[in-house]
Amino acid sequence: MTTSSVDHWSAILTFILFVFSNAAVIYPVRVSVPTWLICHIRPLLVATHILAESRSPVRKTNIRLNFITVPLISVLILLATGAIDGTVVRDGIVGSNGVQPLDIMALFISLAYLSISLDATGLLRFLAFWVVGKGGGSGRRLFAYLYAFFLICGVIVGNDPVILSGTAFLAYLTRVSGMTNPKAWIFSQFAAANMASVVLVSSNPTNLVLSGAFTLKWTSYIAHVILPFLAAAITVYPLLLYMFRSPDLIPESLDLDLNEVGDIRETLVDKGGAIFGSCLVLVTLGVLVGTSTVGVPVWEVTVPPACIMLARDIWWDWSRYRSLRVRGAGVNTTAAMDIELKEFPEGSDLSTRNRTANGRVGEDGDELQEARERRLVQDAPPRLPPGFVEFVAHHLARVKRTFPTVSSIALRLPIPLLPFAFLTFILVNALSTQGWVGLFAGWWGAWVRVTGVLGAVGGMGFLSCIFCNLCGTNIGATILLARLLQIWIAAASPADRERFGAIYALALGSNFGAFTLTFSASLAGLLWRRILRQKGIHVRAREFLRVNFPIAAVAMTVGCAVLVGEVYVVYR
């Protein structure tokens, strides 16, 4: 592949838009929409009943240029200019070259539902408090227990549920223990969760991309990454103790009053769901590992359990809702009717009937009160007809009240990851068709020819970590580098040591790279920062880099060293 293959306008435009799309992940911005444009568009939306007519003045509106909108605009520009065609878009969604985005995302979102639903039962919080109880009053012992706990949970359910529940739990723990600086605890949790997500294919979407791109069996994948993970996790722990050696960060003793949360068992809000969900998750993971050798599509294994868990959550919410309604009707009719009153605007016929049934209109037939109510309704300004947005919002609110658990899980699902991943697949596929990935693969092949196995493992480990911060999170980096390795393997036919060394170094780097330079190295990092801000803990970008860089450097060095030894022993 020569550079002349990328010197035409469509290749240059594709590369520029790819860079802009990745920059939007690192530095999202808001662009104000001119008021005059809103004034022209709003009547059209009202006329088509998308929005309701409003008497309020036009408000300032912003458009977010972020990890979804900018890649979408980039793809549309490439289509409009003819730089790519429908085949490139189709391959980016349906799949090509062994990578099947639809299957990967179906597998990922179903496993995410299982994990988040299990977390919604309170199981992770319950186990975390149980670990705290075992740690006693020793700060260092509790630090070690929680580090091991987050590693184990990260292996089983992945990094996202650990970030979601573990970060909020640590914010509470450090507050009640009187620690003014929670840095040691939150950074160790973040590193542990992301290191642990490398072990199972199901624990991170980047692992799913790799397993699909190179048709890796789950048993083979786990066998290759388990030792590098263990070596990295064991080595990082004393580094954490050294970095956070100040008594202000990890106190020798802690004065914890767990009575503040009452009975720890109360954190397990759904004991039956926790048992059911745990069994379902373990069985699903076992079946995934067992069927990986017989070629069963992985999404066919994970989607049915997710549907079963969804049905169980719906039943749980509905039974509780019916129980509350019956209890409210028998004990306090007013409270039950108040729920219904919130569903309808004041002054409507049904609202008036509810108040009458509720006894709020005189039970002895107070005509004066009824006349006053009718006069208030007549004097009120006419209610504007609802638009489609208001109609949907109204019914979504009803669903949320009826099914609170399912609604909470749905809000926590990484749904924005789906369009982002598909758009990234399309953009990388566009780079490939324009010759860029082939050019990069040629450079990589030249590097490996000079450096051999050490260069293949160390070079890919370094590139994957750095690209996590430059290519729109670790997902974008994995998609791009996996395609690069595919082209390199097809063109150069490297030895097994070099081929598998590079593939599994990419697996390590795509997970460990999440805690390297920037929050945007992974969506988990952005989520982690947002949760901390909600809890009043602010971590600056410079501190994120200063603390995480040595941790990631040690983890990757040790992990890659063990991986080099593995490929020399396994492949002759």
Domain parsing of the chain, residue ranges: 101-315+416-570, 321-404
pLDDT of residue 398 exceeding 90, the answer is no
pLDDT of residue 543 exceeding 70, the answer is yes
Q: Which of 19-28, 81-90, 362-371, 535-544 has the lowest mean pLDDT?
A: 362-371
In this prediction, residue 4 carries a pLDDT of 44
- Greatest mean pLDDT among 127-141, 169-183, 323-337, 538-552 lies in 538-552
Structure tokens at 502: 């590079």
pLDDT of residue 13 exceeding 60, the answer is yes
CB atoms within 10 A of CB 21: 25
Query: 378 vs 161, which has greater pLDDT?
Result: 161
In this prediction, residue 215 carries a pLDDT of 85
Percent of the chain topping pLDDT 90 = 29
> Do 96 and 426 touch, CB atoms closer than 8 A?
no
3-state secondary structure 502-546: HHHHHHHHHHHHHHCCCHHHCHHHHHHHHHHHHCCCCCCHHHHHH
Instruction: Work out the pLDDT band at 62, boundaries 50, 70, 90.
Output: confident
Q: What's the rounded Cα separation, in Å, for the pair 192 and 162?
A: 9
pLDDT, mean of residues 212-216: 86
Q: What's the sign of the alpha-carbon dihedral 540, 525, 116, 147?
A: negative
In this prediction, residue 336 carries a pLDDT of 35
Sorted by sequence, the CB contacts under 8 Å of residue 97 that are 6+ apart come out as: 213, 483, 486
Sorted by sequence, the CB contacts under 8 Å of residue 396 that are 6+ apart come out as: none
Q: In Å, how far from its chain's centre is CA 483?
A: 23
Look up residue 257 and give its DSSP letter: -
Q: What's the rounded Cα separation, in Å, for the pair 22 and 18?
A: 6
pLDDT, mean of residues 157-164: 81
Instruction: Give per-residue pLDDT as tens, 447-457.
Output: 999 999 999 99
65 φ, ψ (degrees, to nearest 5): -100, 95
Q: Which of 164-168, 425-429, 453-457 has the lowest mean pLDDT?
A: 164-168
pLDDT of residue 165 exceeding 80, the answer is no
Percent of the chain topping pLDDT 70 = 81
Q: What's the rounded Cα separation, in Å, for the pair 114 and 34?
A: 43
In this prediction, residue 366 carries a pLDDT of 44
Query: 302 vs 558, which has greater pLDDT?
Result: 558
- Greatest mean pLDDT among 14-23, 53-62, 119-128 lies in 14-23
Q: Burial, 88: exposed, middle or buried (Cβ in 10 Å; 0-12, 13-18, 19+)?
A: buried
Residues constituting the chain = 572
Q: What's the rounded Cα separation, in Å, for the pair 521 and 468?
A: 5
In this prediction, residue 182 carries a pLDDT of 87
Q: What's the rounded Cα separation, in Å, for the pair 151 and 189?
A: 8
pTM here is 0.76
Q: What's the rounded Cα separation, in Å, for the pair 278 and 312?
A: 13
In this prediction, residue 332 carries a pLDDT of 41
Q: What's the rounded Cα separation, in Å, for the pair 475 and 205?
A: 7
> Do 97 and 483 touch, CB atoms closer than 8 A?
yes
Rounded alpha-carbon distances, angstroms, from residue 404 to 163, 317, 398 = 22, 7, 10
CA dihedral 109, 115, 121, 126 (to 10 degrees): -150
pLDDT of residue 241 exceeding 90, the answer is yes
In this prediction, residue 389 carries a pLDDT of 63
Sorted by sequence, the CB contacts under 8 Å of residue 34 that are 6+ apart come out as: none
pLDDT of residue 47 exceeding 80, the answer is no
Query: 462 vs 392, which has greater pLDDT?
Result: 462
Stated as kind and residue range, the H or E segment containing 330 is helix 298-331
CA dihedral 237, 241, 242, 246 (to 10 degrees): 160
In this prediction, residue 444 carries a pLDDT of 95
pLDDT of residue 355 exceeding 80, the answer is no
pLDDT, mean of residues 132-150: 83
pLDDT of residue 463 exceeding 50, the answer is yes
Instruction: Tell me which amino acid residue 396 is.
Output: L
In this prediction, residue 393 carries a pLDDT of 74
Whole-angstrom distance between the N-terminal and C-terminal Cα of the chain?
30
In this prediction, residue 362 carries a pLDDT of 39
Q: What's the rounded Cα separation, in Å, for the pair 471 and 469?
A: 6
Query: 248 vs 55, which has greater pLDDT?
Result: 248
